[in-house]
Amino acid sequence: MSRSIEALVNEQVRRWELLRQKPKVAKARPVITVTGQHGARGDELSQQLARELGFDHFDREIIHRVAESAHLSERVVASMDMKKREVLADWLASFAGRNYISPAEYRYHLAHVIGAIALQGGAVIVGRGAHILLKGQALRVLAVAPLEDRVRTVMETESLSERDARRRIEEVESDRHAFIVTHYHAEFSDPTAYDLVANTAALGLDGAIAAIRGALAKWSPTAERPAKARTRVEPPIAPGAAASSLRR
């Protein structure tokens, strides 16, 4: 009988703890996670930050790595990426065969990929709950901006009317909120889940990056183990989905 998804995730967390306790020949470069309100220019911020620090930048690349880990197409994995999922739809899709990944499986592979990136160091990781998975192990940044500024940004970058830009912000943030609640039992907008909150409208990208670099100079990782509630897997899986085993 295959081990439960929860047991596999907890085992992965234990491996990270053991690796962190081993002596290292060279000090690993730090890791920064960047999460942003839609329209707060978090993507631009993360890319410019990575360039200035000489760090690797991980955004869509994470989908590619999760797809490789799960032996699925990127299209299938992308259907889970920062989106809401309906329990009934998941249950019906589970009968479709290998072109499906359950929330629990996705979470396991996502934790594995983000953990591997963090162990390597020298990375800026965008979204996907990395700030929760890497509590104490990464400088966690939240990019924010007033709603009106975000509306203008979305209008310009996505060529939308004001009405559609507002609707777009609501949809994206609703998806992100649901993603964090579903996978991590946490709140997307909780400021205490981050080490630094940067207002990109007030500071501009350069000012926000200066603030992050200043915080990074003072920040150091801790030996704190991720909270149990954030590493356990207790998703609202529909009947039949719980029997799904990892595809290795």
* CATH code, domain with 147: 3.40.50.300
Residue 140 lies in a domain: yes
pLDDT at 196: 94
Residue 152 lies in a domain: yes
pLDDT at 181: 84
pLDDT at 239: 33
Residue 180 lies in a domain: yes
pLDDT at 21: 60
Domain enclosing residue 216, as ranges? 5-21+29-238
Whole-angstrom Cα distance, residue 111 to residue 66?
9
Whole-angstrom Cα distance, residue 103 to residue 166?
29
Residue 247 lies in a domain: no
Residue 217 lies in a domain: yes
Answer whether 41's CB lies under 8 Å from 141's CB: no
pLDDT at 91: 40
Instruction: Calculate Rg over the CA atoms of the chain.
Output: 18
Two structure tokens written together for 183: 């996978």
Residue 34 lies in a domain: yes
Answer whether 181's CB lies under 8 Å from 187's CB: yes
Among the listed residues 15, 20, 18, the one whose alpha carbon sits nearest the alpha carbon of residue 31: 20
pLDDT tens for each residue of the chain, 248 residues long: 445 666 666 666 666 666 666 555 556 789 999 999 999 999 999 999 999 999 999 988 888 887 777 777 667 667 665 554 444 344 444 445 556 667 777 788 888 888 888 888 899 999 888 998 898 899 999 999 999 999 999 999 999 999 999 999 999 988 888 888 887 888 887 888 999 999 999 999 999 999 999 999 999 887 544 444 343 333 333 333 333 333 33
Residue 244 lies in a domain: no
Residue 248 lies in a domain: no
pLDDT at 128: 84
Two structure tokens written together for 75: 């299209």
pTM: 0.70
When divided into structural domains, the chain yields a total of: 1
